[in-house]
A and B are shown apart, each in its own frame.
Chain A
Amino acid sequence: MKRVYLDNNATTIIDPEVLEEMSPFLGEEYGNPSSFHTFGSSVMERISRARELVAALIGAHPDEIVFTSGGTESDNTALRGCSLLRGGPVVTTAVEHPAVLDTARQLGGPARIIGVDSMGMLDMQSFRHSLEGAAVASVMFANNETGTLMPVKEAAAASGEAGVPFHTDAVQAVGKVPVDVEELGLDMLSLSAHKFHGPKGIGALYIRRGFSLPPLLTGGHQEKGMRAGTYNSAGIIGLGKAAELAARHLSEEKRVAGLLASLENGLKASCPGAMIMAEGSPRLPNTSTVIFRGIESEAVLTLLDMRGVYASSGSACSTGSKDPSHVLMAMGLDHNLANSAVRFSLSRFTTPEEIEYTIRALSGIVERLRAISPFV
């Protein structure tokens, strides 16, 4: 069966070049980078190179990069570190990934969770007014469900003026859109390798020079004491290669945006009741959440799956949870519409044929499910 993978915001295929780069470090090059002997310390040279490549992708200095196990750990390190250091609540948005949102709720008194408008855009005025006395402000770079690009530069500047450290969860943005930590004025940024064709279980936290943070994991002196634990050599080297390739392929994102537009236009034309979330807002080039009015998204996903098309949804049914996507609810959708949302996320490996196949499959599926819906 044909396989069309349109769930790249969940994870991506490892670029074969990345896999090749990693492979020796899962095999014969098993030395511990922290060891004194050359068998281990030669691996450290490769780790330093990876650090340079990751730094280059986001306009940082290599010494500002701390390797972590991924986005969740990076977010936790940033938020928990600031809370420990300064006390006070976390200011964040209603549409964050749970790694930020649930951590914020657990820390330093009631979190200040700022709402968004129907485009998923941060309410800057409320944000500004919530900064006083906060431990840290955290605003995601791009939303994982809608792709909405947040006003990170503006939010970082507002935080700076209020004397509050600023963190951004850029897990969905890095590798898809240009990110420059200095130009944006960030204190901290989280990124994750497997979202841009690197391996799972590895990521990084950017910490601005001069900004100091206590570690989340204590123990060995790796990462200058910022992150204890034996180096994940293969993962770090894979992340470095993925960063190098992402920088090289960044111009291809225009092509991805073109494919996304043809998907959206195709669905609007062939599926009655189709509506694109955050359509008028600046968005990632690869992400589209489509509402199919009157039909439940898990039913759509199940029929798509049978045709080899893999997408995702934030519906209550597909996750086994009680509530549909907190992101779509925060954008003002009711239960039924939120339960009708299907997310398609593309990558530079997506082809025009795959998009055409998906549109054809979906128009049949939508027609079929609308025929048995009480709402149409």
Chain B
Amino acid sequence: MKTLDQIKQTMRRDRVFDFMVSTGTHPVHRGEIDTSHGPILYVENINVSFDGFKALNDLTLYIDDGELRCIIGPNGAGKTTMMDVLTGKTRPDSGTAYFGQSMDLTRMTEHEIASSGIGRKFQKPTIFPEHTVFENLELAMNMDKGVWASLQFKLTGEQKTRIEEVMQTINLVQQCHTAAGRLSHGQKQWLEIGMLITQEPRLLLVDEPVAGMTHQEIEHTAELLTGLAGKHSVVVVEHDMDFIRSIAKKVTVLHEGHVLAEGDMDTIQNDPRVIEVYLGE
């Protein structure tokens, strides 16, 4: 009887076989992101463990379209692992991560995720040191990124203007033809943010954007990120509490791979559990 049941299950007419559902190799076009229910990112019950260490423990999180969300948490809370899962670098042991309502991030490769509209800034500024600032922005720019298209690529006037605009936004016009490796640490951080802007993602994942910046640079970065929210959804992971206070409307606290608390800055700061694990330190 058990076998019969199984066959019945398999033959159910309302069911679609797993292999028929879009897999990682399914071409994903931009603009297909379905945010009709509000959230742009659905992270549900994600578990990741490395050699027995639970980096993410039943993590559930929703990011609204156009929202600027800050994620804080002590070291080892799973912030970077969460970014790795969302960008396809790490596969979760279980759980789902949907971009819009239709795109399953846990089945897509890094470049598919990137071209579907998720941009990522690394913790350590990662730019292309041998390329000039202009070329860095050009490489990141939103366009056909296939081999053949790149071989034939010609920069249009429109794209050039766009890159110049972004260089102005990130204060690097003077350094246009400087090799990016020669920039200061803060400038590299900005260049990476600039690359995110030319990439035109719907969702930006920004890992510690103000690490190693001077006070003035931090202020400018705060302006940049708040300016991006609205048109894009932005998730910022940061340690600098002053910085977070200056930009955040809604804050999520991660602890041991799990959401500990969520709410505006005041609620968070007065939450006894948060004080115990994080602010109390």
Partners in one complex: no
Q: Measuring CB to CB, which residues of chain B are less than 8 angstroms from any residue of chain A? A: none
Q: Measuring CB to CB, which residues of chain A are less than 8 angstroms from any residue of chain B? A: none
